[in-house]
């Protein structure tokens, strides 16, 4: 008989986040017998996470800068309620080295990597240098951070155009500009610098060669500070404004040899920094070659599809590793099973240039059946606050093959009903009726080009939409 999983050092956990990831963390902790304390803003006092947590503590008003991003407020809640550990989720303070240091200095466990690792891999320029030292290929780009446009102009001469300007401390698509010519570089550099300074408090930038037909792949890893394993890759190329819309695992673009090489490169890099916890290494894949671009030192929004194809509960493993326990898995234990797809359901109107749509959930009907999962913060009557990211939920499906997963996702989307607000369900349904998407023929610029026609009502349904069974 399998022995129960017991945490030795974590009995009470502070959840320093909101929305669906807070719900996900609370559920994982409860299954392991851990009490949860939710640090929440005033705007979230009626949230599902507040209802599920053992204790909900208001730490500030609605603006994130005065609540979820306020290290002192979060730490005050942690100390007051004598927690053993803090889970930052994703976004907000999840990749803030200062926050990780504050947690560690208070004698608590930070559920994630060390502050040193966050600082090293969170700085995009340092992460590139680390990858190069570990023998992992990177996208051709500038060496180190750039403070001034003159240095960028010099670096661009070697890189060539088109190129990307990226924030050293970036994330979420902020502080990024695509530049097609030398004449456009000064203005784009200045705009990216202002945005990066505002978003991250750090205006340093770097340059990378832009690959317009590349795929965006990422590898899920787990490490215990001594050993690292991977949980295969995810395909994340369907993006708008560098924000992911739909993801799948594994990538339809890779053969077995390429998949093995990509995943081993990710393990090699994570091993070089003695990584601890769950993390993701992101790559561009172009013309049969892959290039490291950055690392996310946290759990990712799209982690459920990795869980579905491997059967591993990544949140559970994060807590076990943070508790000081070694990895329970050997690489040979991690088997790739079938295919999974995730559709992000956002409170936005895709027909109106993705205009935000906060409001009240008047009615809610969720899909079900084998291989269907719905990670959300929703319930009937919930009032969506206008202060935060627009993502409401993630609809995830798994099946034995990609073709069957596509068919299952079409069926699940058809069952979903969220009344009272505009949201992105219709966008996903249209994408899953597109012949190129169904065939896996897409890249990082595909969606924005496709949207131009769809929003004008010009997108035609592919043969995949003409019969109930899709491509199965």
Positions marked active-site: 298
| Run of H or E residues at 363 | strand 363-365
Q: For residues 395 and 398, give the distance between their C-alpha atoms in angstroms, rounded to a whole number.
A: 11
* C-alpha distances in Å from residue 329, one per residue of 48, 221, 332, 462: 33, 12, 8, 42
Q: What residues contact residue 433 under an 8 Å CB cut-off, 6+ apart?
A: 410, 461, 462, 464, 465
Sign of CA dihedral 153, 157, 162, 168: negative
Instruction: Count Cα neighbours of 239 within 13 Å in the Cβ-side half-sphere.
Output: 19
Q: What is the three-state SS of 256-306?
A: HHHHHHHHHHHHHHHHHCCCEEEEEEEEEEECCEEEEEEEECCCCCCHHHH
Collapsing DSSP to helix, strand or coil, 442 comes out as: coil
Return phi, psi of residue 231, to 5°.
-120, 35
Tokens of 318: 């994060």
Q: For residues 285 and 341, give the distance between their C-alpha atoms in angstroms, rounded to a whole number.
A: 19
């Amino acid at each position: 008989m399998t022995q129960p999983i017991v945490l030795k050092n974590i009995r009470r956990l502070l959840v320093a986040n909101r929305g669906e990831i807070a719900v996900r963390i609370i559920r994982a902790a409860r299954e392991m017998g851990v009490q949860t304390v939710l640090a929440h803003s005033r705007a979230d006092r009626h949230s599902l996470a507040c209802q599920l947590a053992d204790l909900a503590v208001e730490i500030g008003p609605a603006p994130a800068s005065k609540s979820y991003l306020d290290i002192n407020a979060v730490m005050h809640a942690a100390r007051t309620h004598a927690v053993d550990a803090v889970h930052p989720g994703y976004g907000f303070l999840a990749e803030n080295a200062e926050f990780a240091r504050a947690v560690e200095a208070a004698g608590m466990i930070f559920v994630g990597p060390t502050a040193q690792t966050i600082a090293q891999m969170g700085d995009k320029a340092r992460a590139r240098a680390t990858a190069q030292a570990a023998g992992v290929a990177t996208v051709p780009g500038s060496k180190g951070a750039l403070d001034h446009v003159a240095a960028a102009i010099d670096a661009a001469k070697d890189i060539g155009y088109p190129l990307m300007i990226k924030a050293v401390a970036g994330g979420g698509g902020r502080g990024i500009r695509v530049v097609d010519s030398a004449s456009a570089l000064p203005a784009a550099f200045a705009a990216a610098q202002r945005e990066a300074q505002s978003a991250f408090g750090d205006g340093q930038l770097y340059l990378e060669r832009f690959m317009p037909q590349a795929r965006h792949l990422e590898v899920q890893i787990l490490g215990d500070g001594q050993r690292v394993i991977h949980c295969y890759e995810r395909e994340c190329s369907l993006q708008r404004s560098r924000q992911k819309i739909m993801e799948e695992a594994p990538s339809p673009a890779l053969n077995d040899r390429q998949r093995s090489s990509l995943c081993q490169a990710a393990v090699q890099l994570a091993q070089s920094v003695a990584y601890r916890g769950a993390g993701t290494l992101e790559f561009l894949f172009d013309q049969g070659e892959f290039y490291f671009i950055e690392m996310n030192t946290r759990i990712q929004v799209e982690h459920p599809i990795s869980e579905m194809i491997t059967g591993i509960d990544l949140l559970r493993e994060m807590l076990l590793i943070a508790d000081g326990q070694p990895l329970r898995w050997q690489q040979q234990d991690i088997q790739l099973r079938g295919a999974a797809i995730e559709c992000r359901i956002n409170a936005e109107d895709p027909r109106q240039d993705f205009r935000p749509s906060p409001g009240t959930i008047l009615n809610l009907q969720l899909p079900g059946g084998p291989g269907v999962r719905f990670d959300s913060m929703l319930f009937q009557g919930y009032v969506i606050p206008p202060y935060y990211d627009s993502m409401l939920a993630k609809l995830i499906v798994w099946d034995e093959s990609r073709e069957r997963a596509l068919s299952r996702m079409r069926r699940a989307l058809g069952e979903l009903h969220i009344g009272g607000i505009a949201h992105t369900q219709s966008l996903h349904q249209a994408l899953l009726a597109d012949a190129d998407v169904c065939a896996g023929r897409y890249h990082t610029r595909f969606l924005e080009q496709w949207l131009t026609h769809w929003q004008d009502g010009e997108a035609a349904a592919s043969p995949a939409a003409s019969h109930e069974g899709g491509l199965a």
